[in-house]
Chains A and B, each alone.
Chain A
Amino acid sequence: MFRRSGSFVSFFVSGQMPTPHSEEFLQALSEHRFRDISMASSEEVSTGWVTPKDPTGETFDADALELGDTIWMRFRTDRKKLPTVWVNIHRATAEQSAGRKLSAKERKDLKEDLMQQLLPRILPSVALIDALYQPRQKKVVLFGTAVAVRDAFRKLMFDSFGVELTQADGYERAARSGLDGDLLKRLGEVSPVRWAPDSESGRDLPDPVRDSFEEPTPEPIAEPHDVAEDQDLEHKGSEEPESEVSA
């Protein structure tokens, strides 16, 4: 059953995803399916697709992905790591037997031996991460916000479908929210409002400072002038410090 709580971050999809449920879509998942590392004798990370119904990555049933108009994708990351505490225990025992500290090479050899002996017996940590793909909106919601999870998902989506993901932060959401032309133009120019107290007048009131969308000063009726003068004025205008407006 789908979760009822959690954290998520959204991405906009750039590029053409295959139609969900199509052979191409399922094949892409299958080609980048999760691969088991439980018997591996080296420290490893394995990331790949599974389905909500089959966490092994062996089968990809189209019905398992369907949640109405939304596609329920899931990937699995297994991580196998030799516990540091075991290395320390074996090192202490070896040093006690030798009656001296181990050299760097001896420590390295000891760790390699331990990996050979212990890693096949150690179960990897398992993380199952869900994502909801909305084909019509070309958006995907990822139920994991850690940088490592986002990066792994981006890579998996690119490797599987050749699509790029752009995180839906404040700017991207604004840019794609259907704002009209003027507002969209100002989005690129807007700067933070400084809700700072007016130190000059001593008034106990934060004033929003005029920022980049202040009404421009009307241009004077043209007298003959050259282009260089225009450019100079524009340049000076852009460097003018922000001024405050009375509230």
Chain B
Amino acid sequence: MTDEASHGFLGEEFLTWLWFRAETSGGELPLGDGKTVGFTIDDLIEFAPLDEDETQSAVKRGSPTKSAVARAALKSGRRLRKARLILAVEDRVYSATVDGPTLSFSSVKLPDDDPDLELAERSEERAQAFLELESIVDVLYRQFLELRLDRSFQGGEGERQANWMAGSARS
């Protein structure tokens, strides 16, 4: 098995952690450059099967994270395979569906164009916006990894997340 194939779960755990943080920590994290990113899970979540016999299930539209199906899946220990995220930095708002195992982005929507820009400048701004979106997710992923790979994870962040997942059915 390749490293990529064997570590796909890390991206899934990352998305599940984002959900946990969005609900328990106000959905804001520092980006390290004095800016803060606000984030939330939007209208699509897809759960990874716990094992090969289980089905992959998706919950779409409305508020999928609040649905009974989603809460039951969390409670049974399922990770997010895919999630649609909304990310906001200053006045720029991005939305994208992120695939956990590959950390690829689909259905990306960028912030509105600045109407004062010329066409060439607008192209450059859009390209930079795609790269900024990726870099925001990279920073969040790095913050997740620092917690996840730390020896204190099980008794700290991991335990808090476990309690959140356990309490899901009561939400």
Known interface pairs A192-B9, A206-B76, A208-B153; 19 further A-B residue pairs with C-beta atoms within 8 A, sorted by A's residue number: A1-B122, A1-B123, A2-B126, A7-B105, A7-B107, A67-B123, A70-B131, A170-B8, A170-B11, A172-B3, A177-B142, A179-B142, A179-B149, A190-B149, A194-B77, A197-B76, A206-B162, A245-B154, A247-B159
**Residue ID in chain B nearest A190 by CB atoms:** B149
Of A30-38, A102-110, A116-124, A210-218, which binds chain B? A210-218
Q: How many residues of chain B are within 8 Å of chain A by beta carbon?
A: 57
Spell out B's residues near A (CB within 8 Å): 3-4, 6-11, 13-14, 50, 75-79, 100-110, 113, 119, 122-124, 126-128, 130-131, 134, 138, 141-142, 145-146, 148-151, 153-155, 158-159, 161-163, 165-166
**Alpha-carbon separation in the docked complex, A70 to B11 (Å):** 27
- Is B134 a contact of A169 with CB atoms below 8 Å? no
Known A183-B146, A187-B149, A208-B159; judge A171-B104 contact (CB<8 A): no
> Is there a chain B Cβ closer than 8 Å to A100's Cβ?
no
Cβ contacts under 8 Å, B107 to chain A: 5, 7
- A-B contacts at CB below 8 angstroms, number: 165
Contact of B150 among A183, A195, A247 (CB under 8 A): A183
Q: List 16 A-B contacts (CB under 8 A).
A: A1-B123, A1-B126, A3-B126, A5-B108, A8-B130, A9-B102, A9-B104, A67-B127, A141-B130, A141-B131, A141-B134, A169-B7, A173-B103, A177-B141, A183-B150, A213-B151
Cβ contacts under 8 Å, B100 to chain A: 170
- Distance of B124 from chain A, by nearest CB (Å): 5
**Alpha-carbon separation in the docked complex, A206 to B155 (Å):** 13
- Is A206 a contact of B134 with CB atoms below 8 Å? no
Contact of A10 among B106, B134, B148 (CB under 8 A): B134
- Is B113 a contact of A247 with CB atoms below 8 Å? no
Contact of B131 among A132, A145, A178 (CB under 8 A): A132
Chain A: interface size category: 35 or more
Cβ contacts under 8 Å, A42 to chain B: none
Cβ contacts under 8 Å, A1 to chain B: 119, 122-123, 126
**Alpha-carbon separation in the docked complex, A4 to B133 (Å):** 12
- Is B127 a contact of A72 with CB atoms below 8 Å? yes
- Is A171 a contact of B124 with CB atoms below 8 Å? no
- Is B165 a contact of A206 with CB atoms below 8 Å? yes
**Residue ID in chain B nearest A72 by CB atoms:** B127
Cβ contacts under 8 Å, A174 to chain B: 7, 10, 141, 145
> Is there a chain B Cβ closer than 8 Å to A193's Cβ?
yes
